[in-house]
Amino acid sequence: MINISLLLIVICVAGIIYLFMDLEEEDDILERRLKSLVKNKESSNAAKIAKESFLIKRLGELVAPVVNSLTRKKQNVNTIKQLLIQAGKPSTDEDVIKLVTQKVIYGIIGLVFAFAIYSIGGLDTMMITILFVATPLTMYRLPEMKLKRYIKHKETEISYNLPDALDLLTVCVEAGLGLDAALFRVSQEQMRTCPILAVELGRVSKDILAGVPRQEAFRNLANRNNVEDLRSLTSLLIQTDKLGTSIAQSLKVYSDTVRTRRRQKAEALAAKASVKMVLPLVLFILPSMFIVFLTPAVISLIENFQSMSVGSDEQQEQPAEQQQH
């Protein structure tokens, strides 16, 4: 049973480490296209082949039929593409196949772990069923869980830093810069405080410079980030661009609205903190405080009772000795 516990702990720790590892940031799409045009095609293919591990390639070839069956449905492919887009990753068909292949390989690894634990023995039927169902499914879902965790982190960072970026954008527009130049300037300024938001704004500016229509660039920004405030901002910019109204005034009003909304969210979280602290306070803090405060008193009471019992025994022994004399 000790070996089983150790294996389960190793599996859980490995999954947590993989889940909480930082995702490698991909290069900007425009930069990758320029690099692909500059580099020689043969040298890039040779470098790519040299980097890939032989074992990973063989595993990919073995699980290719399973991957093809999983990516046959268009709905599954669209869901994975949307996850990759929201995580800021390339979302081509090849990238979708790579992610599904990774999921299948991790599922196979989970199945191998389940067989290893089963071979040790000492498990009942219920534990064996849970082991062979839960371990492969959990390992299969790990890459997708990692993407969703990064998307959640990205949404939180963008929501928190968007009011500051809007203030900078308003100042730049009021100073006389165009919207495209203002976006590029704000992306440079935000690179130190919030690189995620800076990359997204810089990508919009580069898309516009590359010839993408401004409204389409703003829609792509909203599709890449599932943030309500950012979607409202893109709708505001598209509507302002269509109607020809003042961008600076619209940004100023919307910046105040977003900042007020952020303050209200902070107040709501502060109000929930006291309720969330009740459970750990009752289960962990109060018992430890009672132990620390009451233990010395209990020890002193026990010593006093022992001394009183010893004194009463001595008093009872003395009259008995006097009667004998």
pLDDT in tens, 180-210: 889 999 999 888 888 889 999 999 988 988 8
Q: What is the mean pLDDT of residues 238-255?
A: 85
Q: Among residues of the chain, what percentage have pLDDT more than 90?
A: 2
Span 149-185, pLDDT tens digits: 989 998 888 988 898 899 899 899 888 888 888 999 9
Give the mean model confidence (pLDDT) for residues 230-256. 86
CB 101 within 8 A of CB 63: yes
Q: Which two tokens stand for residue 195?
A: 């690189």
CB atoms within 10 A of CB 309: 10
First to last CA, the chain: 68
- Predicted TM-score (pTM) of the model is 0.68
Type of residue at 164: D
pLDDT band at 1 (very low <50, low <70, confident <90, very high): very low
Torsion of CA 20, 189, 197, 90, to 10 degrees: -80
Residue 91 corresponds to which amino acid?
S
- Decide if 157 contacts 197 (C-beta within 8 A): yes
The answer to whether residues 184 and 202 touch, using CB atoms and an 8 Å cutoff, is yes
Judge whether 85 and 91 are in contact, CB under 8 Å: yes
